[in-house]
Amino acid sequence: MRDWAALDKKYIWHPFTQMEEWLGSELLVIDSAEGNYVVDTNDNRYLDGISSLWVNIHGHRKKKIDDAIKRQLDKVAHSTLLGLASTSSIELAEKLVGITPRNLTKVFYSDSGSTAVEVGLKIAFQYWRNVGFDEKRFFLTLSDAYHGDTIGSVSLGGIDLFHSIFHPLLFNTLTIPAPFPYRYPNLTPEQCKEMSLDHLKKIVNERGHEIAAMVMEPLVQGAAGMIVHPEGYLREVANICRSNCILLVCDEVATGFGRTGKMFAVEHENVEPDILCLAKGLSGGYLPLAATLVSDKIFEAFLGKYTDYKTFFHGHSYTGNALACAAACAALDIFEEERVMESLPQKIECLRKELASQIAPLPWVADVRQCGFMVGIEIAEHVAARKAFPVEFRIGHQIILDVRKAGVILRPLGDVLVLMPPLSITEDEIRYLVGAAAQSIRNVCSNPKPFSL
Ligand SMILES: *Cc1c(COP(=O)(O)O)cnc(C)c1O
């Protein structure tokens, strides 16, 4: 067998990774997968506790998706949407319009969550130019937002660790504090919600005429550490935007496709965003694919003669890739055929119970946040004082290395341990996943040391 680890270290620069540390560490090299497990080059199986970074929703090597891709491969792998139409992209667009909020009628494809957001923000910006409101040029965002890693989506983001270095390259946004109850221990969730909404109302009163759109992750801010918004927040934000002529762009890249217990997070509060960004789970976690959906109102503002210059000049080489669209069609069919949404409430309840009994009582767990299949476990050195472990302990990282010994793959967000299993996980596997996480928190935190290789 080839020395995969050595070759990786020779050739690959990994994302979000301190490569000096990587080069000195032992690597886990994945070679295959089956169902809810990935398999390494030594034939060890690991429960995929983060759905291969939040994308794989029906498990790996799902026959229906595999077959759809093979069938598509016998027809065509890719043809361009610039100047040509294609059957699989049409089929998927019809399905997406059918399952998303009723006002959304048109689908613009791209390749990743970041580009889905770039497309959404460029459409929102140009919309106001096309209808003659040139002063509407600012975006409203939430603190701690994450919308991707390209410069436009980073501009909308507010996670300093990732974003501050690029500050000179970014455009300015208007930001309000996210309703994050954990951060405001003196406020009830309801007061926290009102505090955030008061900021929103104030800024909308003062600058509403300059604001093109509010961009937000509805219900759960994933990369921020699974911040779950208080109930009713999204509804109120949508109302305020609607009555002040501010477009609402919902980034459901993380929350979409069943993650929150409904197909889309906006359904929880009956919100119809003007623009909806989708990626991650869209292709079942198989191929890079994203979609930005818009309403008729938005679409129609781009219609005119060529010489009116209302065209949306944006597109990627692989826009609407046929293999990816075929995978996505199959992934959506599985939701119906296997009644996936109907199976979720019981699994979500099982996850809730396990978290309450095995995780919440641990002395290093400061907060357990759950919305459906999205879980964030806040680890702290002193829970009562909410005092974090020193950065050099890299406590989250130590925990996910420890849990590998129990055959579980996790990836933390700093000191927040994330559980984001495939929707196809069984209740037995949920119990195993939570039990293993609890044991690793105990193993690492009961005798904490600075991280070393
Ligand atoms: C992951 C994520 C993105 C970026 O998606 P990529 O496919 O990694 O570019 C954007 N928004 C949210 C909410 C995400 O969770």
pLDDT in tens, 82-130: 999 999 999 999 999 999 999 999 999 999 999 999 999 999 999 999 9
Task: Report yes or no: 156 and 251 within 8 Å, Cβ to Cβ.
Answer: no
Task: Report yes or no: 159 and 144 within 8 Å, Cβ to Cβ.
Answer: yes
Which stretches in the chain have pLDDT values below 70? none
pLDDT at 453: 83
With residues binned 3-state (H G I as helix, E B as strand, rest as coil), the percentages for the chain, rounded to 5, are: 45, 15, 40
pLDDT at 161: 82
Query: How far away, in angstroms, is 56 Cα from ligand 1 center?
Result: 14
Separation CA 250–CA 246 (nearest Å): 13
Rg of the chain over CA atoms, in angstroms?
22
pLDDT at 162: 77
**Any atom of ligand 1 within 6 Å of the Cβ of 147:** yes
**Any atom of ligand 1 within 6 Å of the Cβ of 233:** no
Residue nearest to atom 11 of ligand 1 (CA): 147
Residue nearest to atom 5 of ligand 1 (CA): 113
Give start and end residues of each alpha helix (H) in 217-362. 233-243, 296-300, 322-337, 340-354
**Any atom of ligand 1 within 6 Å of the Cβ of 59:** no
Could you report how far apart the first and last alpha carbons of the chain are, in Å?
A: 25
**Any atom of ligand 1 within 6 Å of the Cβ of 223:** yes
Q: Which two tokens stand for residue 248?
A: 């609402």
Cβ atoms < 10 Å from Cβ of 246: 26
pLDDT at 52: 98
**Any atom of ligand 1 within 6 Å of the Cβ of 113:** yes
**Any atom of ligand 1 within 6 Å of the Cβ of 227:** no
